[in-house]
Structure 1
């Protein structure tokens, strides 16, 4: 009677051992199944999520690409301002002379240095080439168009001033060529500024000559037409920042 319970308990324990799964040794587990902590590996650092600053860098880089155009906008406005100034002064003085004086009239202003001498010139500046009026009309039109086309490449304030003076002077005399007598494209330019032993000229001629002198100076000084436009993302480095970089 006493042996039956003992035999039953032994049989129950043996049954549990058969049902329990055997533990696998660590060496039998494949390496891919063992989790590893995130961090740098032999092939390189672990990938990280983009920070907000890096995420914002993409639109900032796109905006920086358009900054050179905005940097040149003041230069184009400078060119336009000097061109308008030269053109308006030229046309106003010509209108005043042709309205108050007769052809060939001389009025002393600062004798014997300066006087007004009203003439109509069929040639170029300082009465050069009076027999080829149509040629100068074409040249002045080409100069004006060329300046307008190249204006977007400006990178220097002084080049903007020079191009503005040249454009204003060319347009001033071109207006006379196109709309004054005797015919369209063959009009005579109004000249009235007279100096001793010098050709008679006008404000447009003075603007053109001044621009040529300025262009020669800029060329001799080695200042390029495009100027030295700094990169849009360039920022000055402080001495402290430079020292920390060297360290």
Structure 2
């Protein structure tokens, strides 16, 4: 059941990611380069990310190499998800994998990742535009970090030794 939940988390993130990108690409105002304010701290603006995180490695010909590396990472994530006994790790890794798959699909389909979310507080803008898959990756990594930091250390069999 736990393993199935991880794969369902990946499928849910992938589905919402691809659906949101479809809506953005079907929106004439956004494809025309306009910025839409949808909430006090959130704008929509279409940006094509030709690189990886924060636009790194955006050079020509890198899309296939990046897609292959990302696919290998997704396979490793699924292996981790399959082996872990912890629900939080299963769900977090599933979310990370779903976000990564969505970005690989974009890269292979369009040659770049579709980014469209711009966060801000007043005039203070988060410097990068991102997407649902990116958000799932970041949230999954934070969940893994918190799970690791908050777990109780193992108790020694003989407290007097060591």
State how far apart, in whole Å, the 1-side matches of 2:17 and 2:152 are: 29
Hey, what does 1:107 align to over in structure 2? 36
Hey, what does 1:124 align to over in structure 2? 52
Confirm or deny that 1:200 pairs with 2:124. Answer: no
Hey, what does 2:115 align to over in structure 1? 191
Hey, what does 1:24 align to over in structure 2? none
CA apart distance, 1:130: 2.3
Computing the radius of gyration over CA atoms, which structure comes out larger, 1 or 2?
1
CA apart distance, 1:128: 3.4
Uncovered stretches (5+) of structure 1, i.e. residues with no partner:
1-73, 181-186, 225-247
SS in 1 for 2:26: helix
Hey, what does 2:90 align to over in structure 1? 160
CA RMSD of aligned residues (A): 1.9
Query: Does the 8 Å contact 1:127/1:200 carry over to 2?
Result: no
CA pair 152-108 structure 1, distance change in 2 beyond 3 A? closer
SS in 2 for 1:195: strand
State how far apart, in whole Å, the 1-side matches of 2:9 and 2:102 are: 13
SS in 2 for 1:155: coil
Flag the structure with higher strand content.
Answer: 2
CA pair 126-201 structure 1, distance change in 2 beyond 3 A? farther
Deviations 1:158-201, CA, capped at 9 Å, x for gaps: 01111111110110101001111xxxxxx111110012321100
Using the size of structure 2 for normalisation, the TM-score is 0.81
Flag as ranges the 4+ runs of structure 1 deviating above 4 A.
Answer: none
SS in 2 for 1:119: strand
State the aligned residue count: 144
Uncovered stretches (5+) of structure 2, i.e. residues with no partner:
154-162
State how far apart, in whole Å, the 2-side matches of 1:142 and 1:125 are: 17
CA apart distance, 1:105: 2.2
Hey, what does 1:238 align to over in structure 2? none
State how far apart, in whole Å, the 2-side matches of 1:156 and 1:103 are: 45
CA apart distance, 1:140: 1.3
State how far apart, in whole Å, the 2-side matches of 1:84 and 1:222 are: 28
Confirm or deny that 1:75 pairs with 2:5. Answer: no
Confirm or deny that 1:216 pairs with 2:145. Answer: yes
Deviations 1:198-222, CA, capped at 9 Å, x for gaps: 1100001000001111111122123
Query: Does the 8 Å contact 1:125/1:201 carry over to 2?
Result: no
